[in-house]
Amino acid sequence: MKTRITELFGIERPIIQGGMHYVGFAELAAAVSNAGGLGTITALTQGTPENLAAEIRRCQELTDKPFAVNLTFLPSVTPPDYPGFVQVIVDSGVKIVETAGNNPQKWLPTLKEAGIKVIHKCTSVRHALKAEAIGCDAVSVDGFECGGHPGEDDVPNFILLPRAAEELKIPFVASGGMADGRSLVAALSFGADGMNMGTRFVATQEAPVHEKVKQAIVAASELDTRLVMRPLRNTERVLANPAVERLLEKERQLGKALKFEDIAPEVAGVYPRVMKEGELDAGAWSCGMVAGLIRDVPTAQELLDRIMNEAETLIRQRLAGMLNG
């Protein structure tokens, strides 16, 4: 399938694996890229530029296809070594970066000079237009359904994607609620040039997370996510569990007086325990409503083959068959 996204990134299929904390390691990124999509390594999970350099080398040993590095810019008193991460990406020869969080403008000249394409994650049309204005090559438009941070506007993809198509000139992919061939065809019909999947890729064989995490996603329905940290305007969609219920109770009790320190036990540093050790109730961890559409744990190759076959069947048989003449 040829779209502006496949052409921009040099990939065969318009499917991107989003950068995810303690999920976006070399083995998953390489598996997605080898299957024709775009795999992504998550920089901040690596902790240091040196570790990121080693992880990129590991991915390069596992695939000769394009892959991306996710770099999330967080507001922090003690920020990560962003200059070091950017330099490693440039030196490694990676040609695609997925940025997220704060405005990436200050880093774009360095990335562009190295011939790197940048796709920025956005949760609103106004943010997507800003990303376009500062020179991003593409954007990932994340609807309210998405796992992780859906922003504060609460606009689902049925509205957000066609609005983005009306306003943007650069290519964009749909993110949030994407799981299968139906998702891809719907995204394309709304004007997107592909789709980004997060939660769906966690439940694959190559995802380097505990089997309990994968099975929890398979077992979950579309009703099993919760929104946390809304009072802090840092909303995150997570899978319901006892720690999340404790967190929500604190939010109800403290209301506008809530501070991050009050909920730190449920959100700070929990990802290694959840993803590596399988302690599902250790805290709040990201999961999209799309869990309701996930029923198995295939390989990345099996998943992408299935998505493309479903999409082709939908387009050629169901949709084309509805036209008269």
Q: For 217-234, what is the mean pLDDT?
A: 97
- pLDDT tens string 21-41: 999 999 999 999 999 999 999
236, part of any domain: no
Of 3, 5, 59, the residue nearest 33 (C-alpha): 59
Single-letter residue type at 128 = A
292 part of a folded domain: no
Q: How many domains does the chain have?
A: 1
Average pLDDT taken over every residue of the chain: 97
% of the chain beyond a pLDDT of 90: 96
Torsion, Cα of 292, 296, 302, 304 (10° steps) = 10
Mean pLDDT, rounded, for 287-311: 98
CATH of the domain at 106: 3.20.20.70
Burial group, residue 84, by CB count within 10 angstroms (0-12, 13-18, 19+): middle
Does 43 reside within a domain?
A: yes
Q: How many angstroms separate the most distant Cα atoms in the chain?
A: 64
Q: Count how many residues are written for the chain.
A: 325
Does residue 243 surpass a pLDDT of 90?
yes
Mean local confidence (pLDDT), 207-223: 98
Please list the helix, strand and coil fractions of the chain in percent, rounded to the nearest 5, in that order: 45, 15, 40
Inside any domain, residue 212:
no
The structure tokens listed for 198 are: 């997060």
Structure tokens at 217: 């996603």
Q: Please indicate, yes or no, if residue 300 is contained in any of the structural domains.
A: no
Which stretch of DSSP H or E encloses residue 21? none
Domain containing 36: what range? 4-207
Q: Kindly report whether the global pTM for this prediction surpasses the value 0.95.
A: yes
Whether 179 is covered by a domain: the verdict is yes
Residues 84-102 have a mean pLDDT of 98
Structure confidence at residue 130 (pLDDT): 98
Q: What is the mean pLDDT of residues 165-185?
A: 98
Residue closest to 178 by CA, chosen among 305, 307, 67 = 307
* Mean pLDDT, residues 165-177: 98
- Residue 281 domain-assigned (yes or no): no
Asked if residue 200 belongs to a domain, the reply is yes
Is pLDDT of 121 > 80? yes
Report the DSSP pairing between strands 117-122 and 96-101. Answer: parallel
Whether the pLDDT of residue 325 is over 90: the answer is no
